[in-house]
Amino acid sequence: MEKSNQRLLSLDVFRGATVAAMILVNNPGDWGHIYAPLEHASWHGCTPTDLIFPFFLFIVGVSITYAMSSKKADTQAHGQTILKAAKRAAILFGLGLFLSLYPKVFTDPVAALSTVRIPGVLQRIAVVFLISSIIFLKNSEKNIMRIAGGILILYWIIMTFIPVPGTGYPNLEKETNMGAWIDRSILTEAHLWKSAKTWDPEGILSTMPAIASGLIGVLVGAFLRRKDLEDSYKISWLFCTGLMLFIGGMVWGLQFPLNKSLWTSSFVLYTGGLATMILAFCYWIIDVNKYSDYTLPFVVYGKNAITVFFLSGLLPRTMNMIKVGNADGTESGLQSWLYNNFFSAHFSPINASLAWAIAQICFWFVILYIMYRKHIFIKV
């Protein structure tokens, strides 16, 4: 098998598992009843849920090398390649904005546009994809490594040494850190995360180190594509590199705490190291040793990752628009009605919430499996 010209099955599996995990944590039946590992850390710290988004950005980086390596050598094609990447990024950004606007944009478009949240998950993926693509096309691997390191050091300096205007000192608190100040100053509070209002977990400044998460993936992908190295050598080096990044993140975290909302530099190293080791393990098991009998569910998710993420966000918003009558004469949204009658009525609150999330994964698997069998792969 010539891996340089073929998709990595292990990468599709890793991507699919990551997206399925996204759906699990984003769709509890009741946000007030969630098992601790399925919640984000309240601020500093890192839960399993906090790993999901950086893992996806890492995967985006790896995918860039497999999609664009043949075009990197042809410098005359760079402009066209970057233009295609920009169009794809614009679509992703637009889909993210649509999720923020929907369904209010159809009932009160003026109010929806005046309060739409501009940052978001798909928006950050779009920015990281575009900038990482440009950096990959225009730089050597050594330069990419320097750029990633420079980004992390610069972000650390900005967040921990530069005084925040209006506060007078550098800090990492929710509402008074430099990133929160920049978001309020540029985007205004009306366009930030509605649960916080004064800061955003996908804000402008914290997107900078998120690019480094993508660049770690770019470097790992470039290393995996090398034809001059044995698989055993690649796997050993990736495990060792991942372990060093992981330890480096833990050590840096003593001074610059692990924090997903701030996307701290230590968080980038910590999650990038874990992602590198996980991909190395998957590559060893699936692509090298050919143990792929049970990978289909993850591949099904991985082949239409962005599609299912977008639709899984769209569906509950749509279901809540459909009103259903209750036995007591009141009305509730279709999703609430289904949850109350088929889940919360039969399980404890926390298990009902988990059961609903698992049901979402199963539901979307059926849809994606049909698409997979019919070779329907929607490329955004």
Beta bridge partners of 45: 259
Cβ neighbours around 142 below 10 Å, total: 9
- Residue 162's pLDDT is what? 98
Residue at 129: amino acid letter: F
Cβ(377)–Cβ(303) below 8 Å: yes
- Residue 354's pLDDT is what? 97
Distance CA 306, CA 92 (A): 9
Interacting residues of 138 by C-beta distance below 8 A, sequence separation 6+: 78
Based on DSSP, count helices (H) and strands (E) in the chain, helices before strands.
15, 2
Cis peptide, bond prior to residue 103, ω within 30 of zero: yes
- Residue 6's pLDDT is what? 58
Interacting residues of 166 by C-beta distance below 8 A, sequence separation 6+: 181
Cβ(8)–Cβ(66) below 8 Å: yes
Domain residue spans in the chain? 1-39+292-380, 50-288
- Residue 2's pLDDT is what? 35
**Which pTM does this prediction carry?**
0.95
Average pLDDT of each block of 10 consecutive residues along the chain (380 residues)?
60 97 96 96 97 98 95 91 97 97 93 95 98 97 98 98 97 97 96 91 98 98 95 96 98 98 98 98 96 94 96 94 84 92 94 97 97 92
- Return the structure tokens found at 331: 């009305």
